[in-house]
Amino acid sequence: MGNKRIIWGAVLGGLALGIVLTVALVSADTYTSTNDSCMRCHYHEEADQLWKQSPHYLNGSGVVTDCAACHLPPKEDGIARYYMVKIKMGAKDMWAKMTKDKDEIDWAAKRSVDHAERIVYNASCLKCHQNLFPEGISDDGIAAHLYYEENAEKLHLSCVSCHLNAGHYIEGYSHQKLKGKVDTGSGEIYEAPAAPERFETFTETVPGTNAAIRMVAVPGGEFLLGSPENEPRRRSDEGPQKRVRISRFFMAETEITWRQFWSFYNETMSEGRTPPALVYEANSRPGLDAVTGPTPPFGLPDQGWGMGDRPAITMTHYAAETFCLWLSLKTGKHYRLPTEAEWEYAARGGTDTPYFFEGDPRRYDPQGLRRLFGADTTMIARYVVYSGNSPAHTQEPSWIKANPFGLKNMLGNVMEYCSDRYAPDAYDRISDGALDPKGPQDGGEFVVRGGSYADAAGNVRCAARSHTRHDDWLRTDPQNPKSIWWYSDVKAIGFRVVCEVPENIE
């Protein structure tokens, strides 16, 4: 009898303890899933205010969606995963609260699609939004949701790619087709293009617009294209080095800005589609005074970062070439994209080191145990907008200093298109001493240079090469056929123009 009492006591005690623990865990789970609990650690005061201005709080139905509904996966998809994510995110927020100064956190970067896709769960979106074709949805919305249904699993599509402001209000954000012309701001409307008489820096003025482009005179010369085998962070496609000669040319001081690109858009925008072959054909027809330009993008492609003098982004290589055609026809000069050799020559500014300023990529971008000692990035931060100093988006040219030729943002800020097709062995095909070499004419992708605001120091070296990824950069574009003007899945891409020296200039 004594043993039975002990056993029953243990059973009842264990049962009571289990009930208490279960109630405690449920209560803890419930409490830690409330907005008040989240805001204790996730202490961005604006988060609550912006949530209350978003469709998840302010909507006609009166339904309110809380933090946990979006930032945790549904329990139905796996209770273990739910709690693992919850513990991980909670611990991360608690650590941030204890170790970071909230005023030093770049909250704007937290509103980017890249970040949102890491902390918002698509399954949670679909748990509530089971009907993707509600009453009143637009034709564009129907096309986009049909595309999502057909390609979601294959392309890993995410709801927040198109509905970034659903959870937290973002001023100016829109994912509807842009309507009408875009305001390019105030300023003089130019009547005539610039007429430089000497080979020196001048400011191009685009007739009929308020767009002006400062064109830097880049003297001709000789340099080593590519990087030496012992350069830190070097990649195999950066060699073998070849000594080449470059003729003089003019190059835009900065990447083409939104003010300049929207001037082109306003004059040429179209709902039509012009095959690339027709653009090249038009370029050879003197006197042509009309160009078919970009169709309207979805929303404002500046990502809410600002326009004006920031670099224009997300346009395709074809759109950049069409801009050059338009600029040529408007000014009577020959504008085009730079060759890869011209671009590197201009970026180096007469230097032959990894950057056009002093510094070792290993010091600016420490890896392994070096990370424990930090890095002195004072020098690189003066000249480059990159992952070490950018708030995860583009900046105006005034942010940094120019290179020895007087060009800004040659490294960092946004990747820049070149006219060359990309090939990993492109330099093998160039002869030493070649004059104005051009890349291969075959290949499906184009060279992009300079790296971007999102790149580490090793990827913003003068010799670092990359290329377009056309299909990947159109992954979430629901249009059929897909846009030839705008990319849907890359933000850090832009371009600058070069101008060939007119024959009348000595």
Closest CA to 476 of 147, 256, 173: 147
Residue pair 377/248 in contact (Cβ under 8 Å)? The answer is no
In a shared domain, residues 137 and 221: no
- 192 domain-assigned: no
C-alpha 464/C-alpha 340 separation (Å) is 11
Residue with tokens 């509904």: 69
Task: Give counts: helices (H), strands (E), the chain.
Answer: 14, 11
| CA 493 to the chain's CA centroid | 6
Among residues 136, 161, 186, which one ends one of the domains?
A: 161
Residue pair 412/385 in contact (Cβ under 8 Å)? The answer is yes
Contacts of 253 (CB under 8 A, 6+ apart): 201, 213, 214, 215, 216, 397, 402, 406, 407, 408
Closest CA to 211 of 326, 129, 90, 71: 326
Give the 3-state secondary structure of 8-22.
HHHHHHHHHHHHHHH
In a shared domain, residues 258 and 118: no
C-alpha 503/C-alpha 506 separation (Å) is 8
- 411 domain-assigned: yes
Residue pair 384/366 in contact (Cβ under 8 Å)? The answer is no
Residue pair 359/381 in contact (Cβ under 8 Å)? The answer is no
Quote the tokens at residue 58. 């302010």
In a shared domain, residues 117 and 220: no
Contacts of 192 (CB under 8 A, 6+ apart): 205, 207
Residue pair 393/311 in contact (Cβ under 8 Å)? The answer is no
C-alpha 417/C-alpha 321 separation (Å) is 9
Among residues 161, 191, 223, which one ends one of the domains?
A: 161
Query: What pLDDT, on a 0 to 100 scale, did the predictor assign at position 282?
Result: 45
Query: What pLDDT, on a 0 to 100 scale, did the predictor assign at position 1?
Result: 60
Closest CA to 384 of 304, 302, 311, 450: 450
Sign (positive or negative) of CA dihedral 337, 273, 297, 153: negative
C-alpha 311/C-alpha 498 separation (Å) is 16
Count of domains observed in the chain: 2
Strand ranges, E, within 287-389: 335-336
C-alpha 351/C-alpha 130 separation (Å) is 59
Closest CA to 506 of 199, 149, 48, 245: 199
Range of the domain at 80: 33-161
Query: What pLDDT, on a 0 to 100 scale, did the predictor assign at position 420?
Result: 96
- 191 domain-assigned: no
Strand partners, 244: 223
Contacts of 439 (CB under 8 A, 6+ apart): 339, 340, 418, 419, 420, 421, 422, 423, 426, 447
In a shared domain, residues 50 and 104: yes
- 354 domain-assigned: yes
Query: What pLDDT, on a 0 to 100 scale, did the predictor assign at position 192?
Result: 97
Query: What pLDDT, on a 0 to 100 scale, did the predictor assign at position 367?
Result: 62
- 187 domain-assigned: no
Query: In a 3-state reduction of DSSP, which class is residue 51?
Result: helix
Start-end of H helices in 311-375: 317-331, 340-348, 361-364
Quote the tokens at residue 266. 């306003």
- 189 domain-assigned: no
CATH number at residue 472: 3.90.1580.10
- 181 domain-assigned: no
Residue pair 136/90 in contact (Cβ under 8 Å)? The answer is no
In a shared domain, residues 148 and 255: no
- 18 domain-assigned: no
Query: What pLDDT, on a 0 to 100 scale, did the predictor assign at position 287?
Result: 39
In a shared domain, residues 116 and 216: no
Sheet containing 446-449: which strands, arranged edge to edge?
465-467, 446-449, 415-421, 493-494
Quote the tokens at residue 466. 């990359």
* Residue 288: CB atoms within 10 Å: 13
In a shared domain, residues 128 and 211: no
Residue pair 204/198 in contact (Cβ under 8 Å)? The answer is no
H/E stretch holding 465: strand 465-467
* Residue 484: CB atoms within 10 Å: 18
In a shared domain, residues 216 and 151: no
Residue pair 314/452 in contact (Cβ under 8 Å)? The answer is no
The angle, 0 to 180 degrees and rounded to 10, between the axes of the packed helices 317-331 and 276-283 is: 20
Write the CA distances from 375 to 99, 381, 459, integer angstroms.
20, 12, 16
The angle, 0 to 180 degrees and rounded to 10, between the axes of the packed helices 79-99 and 2-32 is: 60
In a shared domain, residues 349 and 454: yes
In a shared domain, residues 264 and 336: yes
Rounded to the nearest 5°, which phi and psi values hold at 276?
A: -50, -35
C-alpha 109/C-alpha 114 separation (Å) is 9
Amino acid at 236: S
Among residues 132, 161, 190, which one ends one of the domains?
A: 161
Query: What pLDDT, on a 0 to 100 scale, did the predictor assign at position 264?
Result: 95
In a shared domain, residues 122 and 219: no
Would you write out the chain's pLDDT as a tens digit for each of its 506 residues? 667 777 776 777 777 777 777 777 767 677 777 877 777 777 676 778 888 888 888 888 888 888 888 888 888 888 888 888 888 888 887 887 778 777 777 666 677 777 888 888 888 888 888 888 888 888 878 888 888 888 877 777 788 878 888 888 887 777 777 888 899 988 899 999 999 999 999 999 999 999 999 999 999 999 999 999 999 999 999 999 999 999 999 999 999 999 999 999 999 987 544 454 554 444 443 333 457 888 888 877 888 788 889 999 999 999 999 999 999 999 999 999 999 999 999 999 999 999 999 999 988 876 655 555 567 789 999 999 999 898 888 999 999 999 999 999 999 999 999 999 999 999 999 999 999 999 998 888 999 999 999 999 999 999 999 999 999 999 888 888 889 999 999 999 999 999 999 998 98
In a shared domain, residues 241 and 390: yes
